[in-house]
Amino acid sequence: MAAPTPTLRFNTEFDPQTDRPVPAADGLVRVTAGNAGPYTFKGTNSFVIGDESVAVLDPGPDDHAHLRALLAAIGGRTVEAIILTHTHLDHSALVPSLKAATGAPVWSGGRHRLSRPRRPFEFNAVGRDSDWKLVPDRVLADGEQIVAGGVELEVVATPGHCANHLAFGLIGTPVLLTGDHIMGWNSTLVSVPDGSIADYLSSLERVIGLGYRRYVPAHGGPIEDGPDYARALLAHRQQRNRQVIEAVEHGARRVSELLGPIYPGLALPLKPAALMTLKAHVEYLADRGLIGATHGLLGTTIFPARA
């Protein structure tokens, strides 16, 4: 008999202790930036990894107070690398300032890139939030094992939220640094063409099987039973796919017409993110022939799959 699907429960009880060093695990210190918002929760978590020398994961937004806080947490130690989970600006905008202050090289999954080519006249809703200019000094490869601040890390490609997203496992520990791929306070935004639901679901399945238990995300607090939570997220996304199919079968012909039946009573500030996510699900379903979709100057028209 198959195990029951875990219930998805978000945890919004998180004290960021903004710009103060907070131990997150052995050899891992969290410093949360003061960029709270509807997409960043209480702020972006930066991490100082190591002891005698260190690495910094996700320096965060271009904020002088956060730079001072990170330098204080570093405390004059050598910074071996500035590592990025991905290149959205709330994670990477501080890189030039931190690099100038420390001389550290930048390691990431490569330059920011789309998950698929942009269609004619298509608008990339998160284009202005992406760090197109950043060029890493070292491109990290999936499965690579690196040492940063004396800590051994496993590089895990987790595309979905965006194409160059990486997670990092602390080898020999239960800790996986999940970036924006898995967060405990909310489900991850996937906005096409920047991201991809197909990639996101595949990355969820992969992470579940890695063996890491404690997920430490880039926004919000740690997730103590990471694999169970990821299975609940996977079930949640699969349910969302079914809801989209049902709404289309009941007459929805525009992505905006999915909001009412799927997100009844949704607060106005959250509607843009919901629309982005629904558009990504529509693309996923249309690519698999589960619904139909055409794309034109006035946007996407959706309809039931033809028999």
In a domain, 9, yes or no: no
**Mean pLDDT for the stretch of residues 227-254:** 97
**Mean pLDDT for the stretch of residues 63-82:** 98
% of the chain exceeding 70 in pLDDT: 99
In a domain, 250, yes or no: yes
CATH of the domain at 258: 1.10.10.10
**Mean pLDDT for the stretch of residues 138-158:** 97
pLDDT at residue number 2: 58
pLDDT at residue number 4: 73
Regarding whether 240 and 197 lie in a shared domain, the answer is: no
In a domain, 191, yes or no: yes
Q: What's the pTM value of the predicted model, to 2 decimals?
A: 0.96
pLDDT at 307 over 80: no
pLDDT at 132 over 80: yes
Regarding whether 240 and 214 lie in a shared domain, the answer is: no
200, 225, 250 - which closes a domain? 225
Regarding whether 190 and 47 lie in a shared domain, the answer is: yes
172, 192, 225 - which closes a domain? 225
CATH of the domain at 98: 3.60.15.10
**How would you write the chain as a 3-class SS string?**
CCCCCCCCCCCCCCCCCCCCCEEEECCEEEEECCCCECCCECCCEEEEEECCCEEEECCCCCCHHHHHHHHHHHCCCCEEEEECCCCEHHHHCCHHHHHHHHCCCEEECCCCCCCCCCCCCCCCCCHHHECCCCCCCEECCCCCEEEECCEEEEEEECCCCCCCCEEEEECCCCEEEEECCCCCCCCCCCCCCCCCHHHHHHHHHHHHCCCCCEEEECCCCCECCHHHHHHHHHHHHHHHHHHHHHHHHCCCCCHHHHHHHHCCCCCHHHHHHHHHHHHHHHHHHHHCCCEEEEEECCEEEEEECCC
% of the chain exceeding 90 in pLDDT: 93
The residue among 94 and 268 whose pLDDT is bigger is 94
Per-residue pLDDT reduced to its tens digit, 249-283: 999 999 999 999 999 988 888 899 999 999 999 99
Question: What's the mean per-residue pLDDT of the chain?
Answer: 96
Residue 161, domain extent: 22-225
pLDDT at residue number 250: 97
Regarding whether 178 and 286 lie in a shared domain, the answer is: no
In a domain, 12, yes or no: no
Confidence of residue 5 (pLDDT cuts 50, 70, 90): confident
pLDDT at residue number 65: 98
Name the domain count of the chain: 2
Regarding whether 106 and 167 lie in a shared domain, the answer is: yes
pLDDT at 1 over 60: no
pLDDT at residue number 306: 81
Confidence of residue 169 (pLDDT cuts 50, 70, 90): very high
Regarding whether 194 and 55 lie in a shared domain, the answer is: yes
